[in-house]
Structure 1
Amino acid sequence: MSASDEDVTAYTGLSLVVASLASVYAWRQTSPRKNAPPHDKTDQLTAVNNQLAMLAKQLAASNDRADRAEAQRAKAEKQLNELQARCELADQQAREAREKIEKLEEQIQTERERSLSAADSVLNSPHQCSPYLCSPANYSTPGSDYCSPGTRIY
């Protein structure tokens, strides 16, 4: 049983006791005992009043505990909601990051394949190469796009 359940149970029990004592008190006020001396009636009423006051204090304390428990529950619920929102945001960011990584990996693979294809075409035609791949000193003739035989390709 949680603290708030105990407080509710205590509150309910105290409410019943207070109501019972109040009805007894009211009954005693309207129908005093026969043959009871007047001071005895006063003592009994004082005792009932004291019990009612004690029960009222207990009820107030129980209400305070119930209010504190409710405040703690509300605070915990708010913290839980904040944590759930943070988790959802972190999950969304993780999904977005995974998607970006996948796109970058695809771009890298595409660029790698394109580069390998370009390198294969250069290597498969050894007499013609791009000016960016041959040293200018290795051209067979000035201004020519053909590399000299045996030229090292960069």
Structure 2
Amino acid sequence: MIVARSRKGAVSTAEFASGWGVAIVSALIGGTVSASQVLMHIVPPDPGYAGALFGLHLYTWAAITFLLAVLAAAVNLVLAREFQPLGAAQASPALRRAAGFTLAVLAFFAVSNLVACFLLQGLHWLMPGDPTGYRFFADLL
């Protein structure tokens, strides 16, 4: 949100702070989802879903990452005046291109994640807790 607004002009402190506020709300929602996944597999005989990375499953890493994102956004809110980005009028063309590339990569990952979730869930109301295949393709057969 902050990067997109800074490409159009100078970002005020209020816009900067509201961008980090949206980041905190988003990270809390993501943390809630990943924490529910952790709690689904916390029972000792359950081996967890998928493989582990450095001893932790990806949903555990997601919960940790969302917690760190809330902490980073909170620090940015506390130091909003010192961390306020340059507006588009003061930003170099290279910085504007980098911001555009960053937004394009973010959009690509968001759309590809939506497509992957749709293919996993198919035309059903609920996605299974431990999806083992693409229900969309299974329903076609």
The answer to whether TM tops 0.5 is no
Query: If each structure's helix is expressed as a fraction of its own residues, which one has the higher value?
Result: 1
Q: Which has the higher contact order (CA 8 A, sep 6+)?
A: 2
TM-score computed with the length of structure 2 as normaliser: 0.33
